């Protein structure tokens, strides 16, 4: 169940079928969307590890879909296109796509570019590594936390918060930033939520919750993980 999930957004059923077969026989899990709208929905709900986006879609111009995805989706997007027009390539790459591939493509090259994109992302994200801080041990992918080798049970939100702090270890994260990341846009003023969850995390993770050594509060600004 820990194979990577690829979302295919393409209007041509044959291409989808082909891609699905190729990808699944190489160990990826696959979900498909037949147009941009569906693709954006699926990307949001399933959080795939990589998106293959055909830019010649019927409903929205593929470029619009790309722009929408880039606004919030942080993992790699590989753009496909029948047109081998230079302008298209330049556009896609400049707006932030991870890679570009002209159709018809060779499946070997496609797979290589997928591997490359995923590898680059992982090396950035490095979420496959377990992070250790003295008595704490946090595994970002299996979403578990240990304190002195004992598993600590954390709720979804608690882990999300911990995860965010850990990913930016050492830096001060503002209340606003944390609230936006965990609760989403529009919650930036609900500082109290954050206080409650920080208290809960400290109670579960800190040896002495009254004198935290990991989750440090930066009064007036935010919190920092050490």
Partner DNA sequence: TGACTTTTATAAAATCTTTATACCTGCCTG
Partner DNA sequence: CAGGCAGGTATAAAGATTTTATAAAAGTCA
Structure tokens at 50: 């990589």
User: Taking CB under 8 A as the rule, does residue 70 contact a second copy?
Assistant: no
Q: How far is the CB of 72 from a second copy (least distance, A)?
A: 15
User: Taking CB under 7 A as the rule, does residue 226 contact DNA?
Assistant: no
Q: Which stretch binds a second copy (CB under 8 A): 22-30, 113-121, 130-138, 191-199?
A: 113-121
Q: Which stretch binds a second copy (CB under 8 A): 56-64, 141-149, 177-185, 193-201?
A: 141-149
Q: Which stretch binds DNA (CB under 7 A): 54-62, 80-88, 100-108, 202-210?
A: 202-210
Residues between 123 and 182 that touch DNA (CB under 7 A): 153, 155-158, 175
5-9, strands of its sheet edge to edge: 29-33, 5-9, 50-54, 77-81, 99-102
**Cα(74)–Cα(72) distance, integer angstroms:** 6
Helix (H, G, I), strand (E, B) or coil at 11: coil
User: Taking CB under 7 A as the rule, does residue 219 contact DNA?
Assistant: yes
Q: How far is the CB of 142 from DNA (least distance, A)?
A: 16
Q: Among the residues of 6-106, which ranges form H helices?
A: 13-24, 36-46, 62-72, 86-95
Helix (H, G, I), strand (E, B) or coil at 101: strand
User: Taking CB under 8 A as the rule, does residue 196 contact a second copy?
Assistant: no
Closest of 145, 117, 118, 121 to residue 131, by C-alpha: 145
Neighbours of 218 (CB within 10 A): 12
Residues in contact with DNA by CB under 7 A are: 153, 155-158, 175, 183, 190-193, 195-196, 198-199, 202-203, 209-210, 217-222
């Amino acid at each position: 169940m820990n194979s990577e999930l690829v979302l295919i957004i393409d209007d041509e059923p044959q291409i989808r079928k082909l891609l699905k077969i190729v990808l699944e026989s190489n160990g990826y899990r696959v979900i498909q969307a037949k147009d941009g709208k569906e693709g954006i929905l699926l990307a949001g709900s399933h959080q795939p590890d990589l998106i293959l986006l055909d830019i010649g879609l019927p409903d929205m111009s593929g470029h619009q879909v790309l722009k929408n995805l880039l606004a919030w989706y942080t993992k790699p997007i590989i753009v496909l296109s029948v047109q081998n027009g230079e302008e298209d390539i330049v556009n896609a790459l400049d707006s932030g796509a991870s890679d570009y591939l002209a159709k018809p493509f060779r499946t070997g090259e496609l797979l290589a570019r997928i591997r490359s994109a995923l590898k680059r992302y992982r090396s950035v994200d490095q979420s496959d590594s377990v992070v250790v801080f003295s008595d704490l041990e946090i595994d970002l992918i299996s979403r578990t936390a240990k304190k002195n080798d004992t598993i600590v049970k954390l709720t979804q939100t608690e882990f999300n918060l911990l995860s965010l702090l850990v990913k930016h270890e050492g830096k001060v994260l503002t209340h606003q930033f944390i609230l936006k990341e965990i609760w989403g846009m529009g919650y930036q003023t609900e500082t109290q939520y954050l206080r409650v969850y920080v208290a809960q995390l400290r109670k579960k993770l800190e040896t002495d919750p009254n004198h935290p050594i990991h989750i440090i509060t930066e009064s007036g600004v935010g919190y920092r993980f050490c």
